[in-house]
Every structure is written in C-alpha cells, then in structure tokens.
Copies of this chain bind each other. A is one copy, B any other.
Amino acid sequence: MQNQSVSHPARFLALAGLFTLAACGGSQAPGTGGADLASLMQARGLSEDDVTAALKTYTPTGKHDEYLIFASGGHGGNLIVIGVPSMRILKYIGVFTPEPWQGYAYGDEATEDVLDGGNRFGKRVEWGDMHHPALSETKGDYDGEFIFVGDKANARLAVVSLKDFMTRQIVTTELIQSDHGAAFVTPNTEYVIETSQYPAPLGGGYAPIEQFNDVYRGAAIFWRFDRAKGLLDRANSFAIELPPYMQDLADSGKLASDGWAFMNCLNSERAYGGVLEGKPALESGASQNDMDYLHCINWRKAEELVKAGRTKTIAGMKVLPLDVAAAEGVLYFVPEPKSPHGVDVTPDGKDIVVGGKLDTHTTVYSIEKIKALTEAKKFIGKDPYGVPILDFKESIRGQCEIGLGPLHTVYDNAGHAYTSVFIESVIAKWSLKDLKVVHKIPMHYNVGHLTAAEGDTVSPDGRFLVGMNKWAIDRFSKVGPLLPQNFQLIDLSAGTEMKLLYDMPIPLGEPHYAQMIKADKIKAIDIYSPVGLNPITHEKSPHATLAKQERIERKDDGVHVYMTAVRSHFTPDIVRVKQGDKVHLHITSVEQAYDATHGFAVGSYNINLSIEPGRHCDVSFVADRAGVFPFYCTEFCSALHLEMAGYLLVEPTK
C-alpha cells in the first residue's frame, strides 16, 4: 500500500484519501497567511496519530462538548464537571467542602444549612472524601436531573441538582463510620445505595477491637429518593446489617437483575491490623483468603420485610438485622476471587462482572444462575453469620483472563467490556460474548476507575472512554511533590483498537469514579426566577427585596438590612450598627441577565456570597469588632465593578 512507502507527514495526508504528494504536480503553494501543516507537525513534534487526536478533541470557540463527565473530587470534597472531547474542566461544584467562589457555606445561611445536614455527632465536618458519583436514572438511563455522591471518610451522601449545579442536601447516619459503595442508584432512582467500608459497632458506640467478629458490623443503606422534592427521605430509608467484612464497591441490578443489588467485599479474613501489637498489617491480614464474598441483595424482598416491621432502629435508621436478612432471602454470598474491587452489572442486567485486584481474571456472574440457585435454595453452606453461600462455579458464566490486578469494568454499545488493570497498567477491551481480550492499551500510570459514555446505563454509547489514572509522574510539568492525577481520553470509534486521544491533568482532588452523560440531557437554568428565589428551598425567600423596598430595620433580634444588588451598586451601601449588634443581611440580586453574577464580601469576616441573577441570600453575624469594614462585590460585573462597594460602620459601645 502506498501509505507504507511515503514519508512521515506525507503518509498522514496520503491516508486522508483526498490529497497526494506535490511531487505529482510541482506547483508549490506559498506558505503565506495560512499555516503549514508539515512545519507545524515538525515544530511541535506531532505524529500523524497526534494530528488525528488533536482534531478529534479540539473544540473551537463557542462550540460545545458532546458529553459531560461528572467526576468525584476525592478528598478535595468537590465534584468536577469536564467536557468531552475537549477535556476542559467546566466547573468544580462545592459539595462536602465549603467553597467561597460559589458562596457555598461562607455565610450564606441556605448552604450553611446544607452542610450542617452532614454534621456527625453534633459537629460540622468541613471536608469529605468523595468517591462515587451516580447520576439519577429513569428506566436505567441517565435522566440528567440529579447527581449523588458519597463521602467515604464521614459516611455521608449528597444530592446535587443539575438544574443549577448546586448541592441541595447532605445526609448522614451515625449507624456507620465510613462508606465506600456510595453512591449507586436503582434503575428509577428509587433508592441511592451507600455501603459501609470499615466495620465498626453499629450506631457509633465503642467496643474493644478484640470484639471485631462479634460486635463490629457493616451495613448497606438504601436511601429513599423523593424525586419531586429532590431530597433523600430518611423516614423511608432502611439499612441491612452485614458481617464485618469490608464491603467495597456496589452496583444496582437493572433489567434482568432489577430488584437486586450487588456489592463485594475484601477482608473476609476479618483482620483489623495491630502491627505494633504483633499482628499483621491489614494489607497482609486481609489478603490471605483466595476467595471473598460477592454480596447479592434482593432489595425488593428487603423492602417487604421493612414494611412488615422486621427492623430494629439504630441511630435513627431502620435496620434489617443480619439474621433476618440471611434467613429471609434478602442476602446471599457467592465466593469471588481475590480481594475484589469493582462490581459492574452489564447493560442488559444479565451479568455481574467482578475484578479481583489480586487476581488475573474478571469473573462474570450470571443473575439467571444466581436466581435459580436461590430459588432452589441450593447452597454450599453458610458463613459464620448464617448467610447462605452459593457455589462459585454454578453461579458464573465464565472468567476472562485479563492481566494482573483488574479493578473496574464499563461497557460500550457493541458487546464489549473495558476493564482497568491496575498492576499491569492497561485497559483491557474484551468480548462479553466470548470472554476474550481483543485489545489492550497502556495507561500512564496505573489506572483506577474508568468511565465510558453513558457507560453505566442500559444503553451505553461507545465513542469515548476515560482512564482515571492514579499517578502522573512525568506526564506534565512538575508542580511540586504533590502531582495531579491524569485522565486519559480514549477513542472507541476508531475500530477494534482503542486509541489514546488526550492526557488531562486533574488539578485539584483525586477522582475515584466518574460518569459520562450526553451533554444535551442536562437542562440547567440560566437565572433564578422569580427574583428573590432561595435556590436550596426552591421557594421565593420571605426576605426577598425588590428595588425601592430596600430598608434597614432594627428589630428585637438585631438589625435587618434588606438589600438589593444590581450593576453596579448595593442598596443600601452604608450600614450603621453598634458593636455587639446581630446583623441580618437579606440580599436579593434583581439582575435577570444571564451571567450577571455578583459577589458580596465583608472584610475581615468569613463572609463571601455568590449572588447569581435572581438569587436571594441571607447572612447573619454579630458585629463584634468596632471599626470600619468595607463590603464589596467580589465577582467582576461591569466596568464599574470596583465601585460596587459600601461600608459596614460598627460604632463602639463604649
């Protein structure tokens, strides 16, 4: 073939199918004005594949991305929104960590209340370790309305509205002390699943660690979601007590497996460390057994038992006891090799793929087989807590020889699965039908999770895949000992072989999981309407202030300032109080132009608001220090932005 004999940049153009070498003609067009492709390639050291990748990812001014990735921010505690294929980060959404640019919990009472919803043992926790985001689903497809995320460190769950990309709710239960299998949704978002990671006495009490087997427990919580309200409904939620194995990732059944949920575990050994006390470290103690247990939960059965009152209440949560779950057909175990991590249900819901991180296979469990065994009550035994165990070989459809350290699996629209292989540092593409690997692509370095376009739905799109790599090492300019992670964008549309398109550093946070949704499914609003809306309650604030209504009123509980913001002034702009006064600011943006956001800060106080068009914010504080405190708009809003300022005058009382 011609393209094998011609030189480097020329081959690319030959392959373009439209152009041949100038040698055939001889007229050399001058390089003036336009760009010189070959020179550009040479100057920037680009290969033909690079040029293809550049053109597949470059997104010109004003063109929008086809997909949006919602990636967890790990222990940054915020959610990251990324456009695909441009791989530009469009937004960090404050969730578990206060964030001043968004005015998230920096004085704004509505968002302070959201954060306080996640208080633990009566105290505010001001960060989270965000692991697994889950988009809301309708009939197993992302519907673009909400996203849920878990906080591993503090066992919390948050609800983010995709109407305004704001965190609307954080919930927690002291039933458990950490989570990991969160968040995962059932196919119509009936429930959001949160499973514990590190066992502890249920409800937050103390017990010596020597009572690990007897008193320490795990739990799977099924948080009921009220879609109309956009809130998780604690009263209609329930938990299932689990043995003190370390439950890991979870997934929800769909279609053929609807009504079921799956979670795996590590540490069926029930090790708990003690390395200074003569015991093995957990990493060693938890890696002794060849098999751990895939947990299969029939949550519709659990629902029935909850309704029938078979629960006990711990830390305010209805809990289905382990013996009930084991005896009544809610909970089954199937052996799974070895120290598994990801459990991922196939798009048709028929199979459940598990990656054993110390194994070399992915294991494909069959829901049909599992159901048949459970219905026939055909068990090979019970675990120490009475949970029935199914036979491994009779529960699986087969295994795929995949490489060392398989973690997570996602799917395309053509019958392929894609598994991250951590230790080998590749992504393996394999056929779900044949259970054979068809291609591997190296990752730099050490890929953790994967996300694929609409990849967790009943109808994945193929097209794009992202390797969420844990280390970056030499991929980017050095930015100190703490490096970014690296998202590698992969083209699934180029044939059998996966093609690397782009390396994208994550500049803040450490993503664990992400979901990728068609961008046009998201229907975000432009402005808040009517003017004076509280974005958390979704109601017009009782303190909403329109133009000409601005006033300062001294009441029994302090000084109330009813203020408006519009380009480029606050009314009022002078606030006179006495030292010790409680000051209540009620600020309404009367803007209705898209993108005309104002900020509001008071110097030397911890107050900064983001007041998007139409939004209302309330702030209360004690003016405890006499002095002159400028306040001003912190979001550049017009040519006279610097003049959008005023003074809080705090007169001393003595």
Contacts and interface: CB of A to CB of B under 8 A. Distances in A.
Nearest to A527: B481
Interface string A299-325: 000000000000000000000000000
19 contacts: A12-B35, A34-B48, A40-B52, A54-B54, A54-B57, A75-B634, A75-B635, A81-B507, A83-B476, A101-B510, A124-B606, A165-B479, A180-B642, A198-B603, A205-B628, A273-B645, A282-B573, A283-B643, A480-B525
B276 A550 contact: yes
Output the residue of A38, A473, A480, A507 with the most chain B CB within 10 A: A480
Given A197-B630, A273-B573, A574-B273, A29 B52 contact: no
Nearest to A24: B25
Contacts of A100: 75-77, 97, 127
A272 B569 CA distance: 12
Given A15-B34, A126-B606, A636-B512, A569 B68 contact: no
A444 B37 contact: no
B125 A574 contact: no
Contacts of A1: 29-30
Contacts of A15: 29-36
Contact of A9 (B18, B163, B266, B629): B18
B503 A62 contact: yes
A559 interface: no
Contacts of A165: 479-480, 482
A28 B204 CA distance: 72
A92 interface: yes
* 10 closest residue pairs by CB, A with B: A15-B34, A165-B480, A54-B58, A35-B52, A273-B573, A481-B612, A198-B630, A76-B101, A100-B127, A281-B569
Contacts of A55: 35, 37, 40-41, 44, 46, 51, 54
Contact of A53 (B58, B572, B612): B58
A160 to B, nearest CB: 10
Given A91-B507, A121-B604, A524-B479, A35 B20 contact: no
Main DSSP-derived SS at the A contact region: loop
A546 to B, nearest CB: 15
A99 B508 contact: yes
B64 A53 contact: no
A289 B592 CA distance: 31
Given A282-B646, A574-B277, A608 B20 contact: no
Interface in A480-507: 480-484, 488, 500, 503-505, 507
Nearest to A89: B507
Contacts of A629: 177, 200
A405 interface: yes
Interface stretch (A206-214, A219-227, A377-385): A206-214
A278 B73 CA distance: 49
A75 B58 contact: no
A500 B27 contact: no
A573 B643 CA distance: 56
Contacts of A522: 477-478
Contacts of A12: 34-35, 37
B603 A61 contact: no
A450 interface: no
Contact of A603 (B11, B154, B574): B154
Interface string A348-360: 0000000001100
Nearest to A445: B595
Given A33-B15, A200-B628, A207-B628, A166 B90 contact: no
Contacts of A574: 209, 272-274, 276-277
Contacts of A45: 60, 63
Kindly name the residue among A92, A610, A650 whose own CB sees the greatest number of chain B CB atoms within 10 A: A92
A472 interface: yes
A421 to B, nearest CB: 10
A370 B81 CA distance: 51
